[in-house]
């Protein structure tokens, strides 16, 4: 049986939630590169994240289910400023402490500081906390 990736995740928790949702709908699926990304998170971009694989015959239906799941999640986190649901989770580096911390750790230590995850509203540009 041929499998195709329908969605990609950077964390195993939402990947397992989505896989469970597809299995509830009777779609056979598995997570490719889950161990690589979970054990070595810095490889996430290199391997393309955790890929949710489904049979070719079920790919369209699986994508529709996952898209509905993503839209429901967006609708549950509207922008507090304008009420728009046109938002996405991003890594924000805009705080001065993040910039100075990154420079300090680059020069004197052996690791980089992670960015802060926030929701970014594409309608008004407001950034608000990610829970």
Q: What is the pLDDT of residues 41-51, one digit of tens each?
A: 888 888 999 99
Cβ atoms of residues 116 and 108 within 8 Å = no
Residue 91: predicted pLDDT: 78
The confidence band for 129, taking pLDDT boundaries of 50, 70 and 90, is confident
Q: Where are the domains of the chain?
A: 3-75, 87-129
Instruction: Kindly tell me if the per-residue pLDDT of 21 is higher than 70.
Output: yes
Rg (CA), the chain: 18
- Tens-digit pLDDT profile for residues 94-127: 665 666 776 777 777 766 556 678 889 999 999 9
Angle at which helices 59-75 and 12-24 pack, to 10 degrees?
A: 120
Residue 73: predicted pLDDT: 86
Residue 98: predicted pLDDT: 61
Task: Report the chain's mean pLDDT, rounded to a whole number.
Answer: 87
- Tens-digit pLDDT profile for residues 28-83: 999 999 999 999 888 888 899 999 999 999 999 999 999 999 999 888 889 999 99
Residue 105: predicted pLDDT: 73
Q: Using CA atoms, how far apart are residues 56 and 30, in angstroms rounded to an integer?
A: 13
């Amino acid at each position: 049986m041929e499998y195709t990736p329908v969605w990609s995740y950077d964390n195993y928790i939402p990947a397992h939630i989505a896989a469970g949702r597809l299995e509830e709908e009777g779609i056979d699926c598995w997570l490719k590169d889950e161990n690589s990304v979970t054990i070595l998170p810095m490889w996430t971009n290199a391997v393309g994240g955790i890929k949710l694989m489904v049979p070719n015959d079920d790919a369209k239906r699986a994508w529709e289910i996952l898209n509905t799941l993503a839209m429901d999640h967006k609708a549950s986190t509207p922008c507090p400023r304008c009420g728009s649901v046109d938002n996405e989770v991003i890594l924000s580096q805009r705080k001065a402490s993040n910039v100075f911390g990154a420079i300090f750790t680059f020069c004197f230590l052996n690791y980089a500081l992670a960015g802060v995850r926030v929701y970014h509203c594409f309608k008004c540009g407001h950034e608000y906390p990610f829970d």
